[in-house]
Amino acid sequence: MDKRNNFKILTFVTQFAVNMLVPICMCSFVGYYIDRYFGTQFWFVALFFIGAIAGGRNIYILARKTYGKDDTLKELLIGILVFGVLAQLGGMFFVKSMSAYSIGLWIGVLLALACAYHMWWSLNKNLTLNADNEGAARTFAIKQNIIRYAVILIVFALVCLSDFAYPLSAFLGIMSLKAGAYLQPFVSRFLHKNSK
């Protein structure tokens, strides 16, 4: 039973990544070749931003279908994406290589989205374990935290060792998890105000 549940989680995280990365990669690819053809540097950034918005929309639709009534997770995911878009816009004025900044940032944002989902899943699982055995619940929570932090460290180390992404922008993207948590009440208020 637990292996099947892990497979479902892996499938969902893969869906999450594909729904976010495909529009970003396609738009960036087109923008890169338009810039290269015309000798400009604007289209990559503009189309990357459009791809990020499309990917965010895909993630929102996927989260809405998957979670239905779990508004807190949806609001957290939206907050993470909003912070990512704001960081993308803000970074346009301060970096030399927009592509390296953007790639690093969105690697971090995708990691933050995956961490948010993993935290939600492990908390729900932990609540069911806590009712049966408090010691098993504590062990499970520690194990899940270690897994989450190990994945963050591995991805961050890979970004640091690469030349195609800025490590600081990846760190900023990872911090979108914290920013999304702070934005969640505002997103909730905005969504519920518009739904009435």
Cβ contact 165:103 at 8 Å:
yes
Q: List, for residues 153-171, the tens digit of each pLDDT value.
A: 999 999 999 888 899 999 9
pTM: 0.72
- Counting the structural domains of the chain, the total is 1
State the number of CA atoms in the 13 A half-sphere of 107 facing the CB. Answer: 25
In whole angstroms, give the CA distance from residue 138 to residue 127. Answer: 10
Instruction: With CA atoms as reference, report the closest residue to 159 among 105, 116, 81.
Output: 105
- Domain coverage including residue 140: 2-195
Between CA 31 and CA 45 the distance in angstroms is 7
Q: What's the confidence (pLDDT) of residue 1?
A: 44
- How far is 56 from 79, CA to CA, in rounded Å? 11
What H or E segment, with its residue span, contains residue 19? helix 2-38
What confidence tier does 182 reach under pLDDT thresholds 50, 70, 90?
Answer: very high
Q: Dump pLDDT digits (tens) for 90-144.
A: 887 788 887 788 888 988 988 898 888 888 888 888 877 766 677 778 888 888 8
**Helix (H, G, I), strand (E, B), or coil: what is residue 163?**
coil
Please give the C-alpha separations between residue 12 and each of 6, 18, 69, 107, 113, in angstroms, as whole numbers. 10, 10, 17, 17, 12
Residue 179's pLDDT band (cuts 50, 70, 90): very high
